[in-house]
Amino acid sequence: MLKIAICDDEVNIVNKIKSIIENYQKSIFEIQTYNSGEEIIKESKNFNIIFLDIDMNGINGIETGKKIREYDKLVKIIYVTNYTDYTSSAFSVHAFGYILKPVKEKEIYNQLDEVLSYSHEESSEILEFNTTEGNIRIDLKDIYYFEYKLRKVIMTTKDCTYTIKQKISEIGKYMEQYGFVMPHKSFSVNLHNVKSVKGYDIYMMDESIIPLSQKKSTQFRQSLNIYLSNKIERSKRG
């Protein structure tokens, strides 16, 4: 679950952004709200995303962003502003994106889509799992899929398999933010490692064949197409 902060001195803007994020269908977020730069800096919490107003009373968004960067180098800061001439001022903060007021659902969703796609593509994304073999840390790209089998969840990776101490439904929901989709009630697959889809069979990069349920076929194919389209766009920009 990604953690999101919304910081704006206009309560109606905070509530609107929060409502839009809560209706986003591709992931689940933990949302915390703030009404000033001083407030979010005082708590010094780590977030995955911060929607940060630039023109706030007290410490403005640029200075707030600089303070946040002192204790969190990784958070993706998305500036929300009434103006278009703040880009150069925000350069030192390394902003992830900008949204103009009045905020629109489509623009916020586009930013969330970008965050999710970048989260999956970042090569340094290491996840930790509690397994019967002990706690293990593994690169996201090395995970192929999770399978519910004989009342256990088996994680198949590039090098070996592990038994996870969680329900497949919990794993499936948690891994959505990293580009995993459940094509079947007993599987959660990494879209990054899908080779092809033929009929109701999903061919993985390790030559495994995962069943695709008829009920979830349309949704899975759409998710895969979106993932591949985003990947192509990123490669063009790179």
pLDDT digits (tens, 9 = 90+) for 175-186: 998 889 999 999
Separation of alpha carbons 79 and 87, rounded Å: 10
Indicate the pLDDT class of residue 91, thresholds 50, 70 and 90.
low
Nearest to 128 by CA among 60, 159, 169, 174: 174
**Residue-range definition of the domain harbouring residue 58:** 2-121
* Percent of the chain predicted with pLDDT > 70: 90
Last residue of a domain, one of 85, 104, 121: 121
Claim to verify: residue 131 and residue 223 sit in the same structural domain: yes
Separation of alpha carbons 189 and 75, rounded Å: 26
Asked if residue 31 lies in contact with residue 47, where contact means CB atoms within 8 angstroms, the answer is no
Separation of alpha carbons 136 and 131, rounded Å: 7
Last residue of a domain, one of 121, 149, 177: 121
Claim to verify: residue 193 and residue 223 sit in the same structural domain: yes
pLDDT digits (tens, 9 = 90+) for 20-42: 999 998 888 899 999 999 999 99
Q: Which amino acid is at 200?
A: Y
The count of domains in the chain is: 2
Q: What is the pLDDT of residue 166?
A: 87
Claim to verify: residue 82 and residue 158 sit in the same structural domain: no
Separation of alpha carbons 2 and 187, rounded Å: 22
Mean pLDDT estimate for the chain = 88
Claim to verify: residue 193 and residue 130 sit in the same structural domain: yes
Claim to verify: residue 164 and residue 109 sit in the same structural domain: no
Nearest to 204 by CA among 142, 145, 121, 139: 145
Claim to verify: residue 115 and residue 133 sit in the same structural domain: no
Cβ-in-10-Å burial (0-12, 13-18, 19+) of 133 comes to exposed
Average pLDDT over every residue of 45-63? 94
Show Cβ contacts of residue 216 under 8 Å, excluding neighbours closer than 6 positions: 182, 183, 184
Q: Which amino acid is at 234?
A: R
Asked if residue 3 lies in contact with residue 13, where contact means CB atoms within 8 angstroms, the answer is no
Instruction: With a cut of 70, say whether residue 88 has pLDDT above it.
Output: no
pLDDT digits (tens, 9 = 90+) for 223-235: 888 877 766 555 4
Size (the chain), residues: 238
Claim to verify: residue 189 and residue 221 sit in the same structural domain: yes
Place of tokens 């915390």: 32
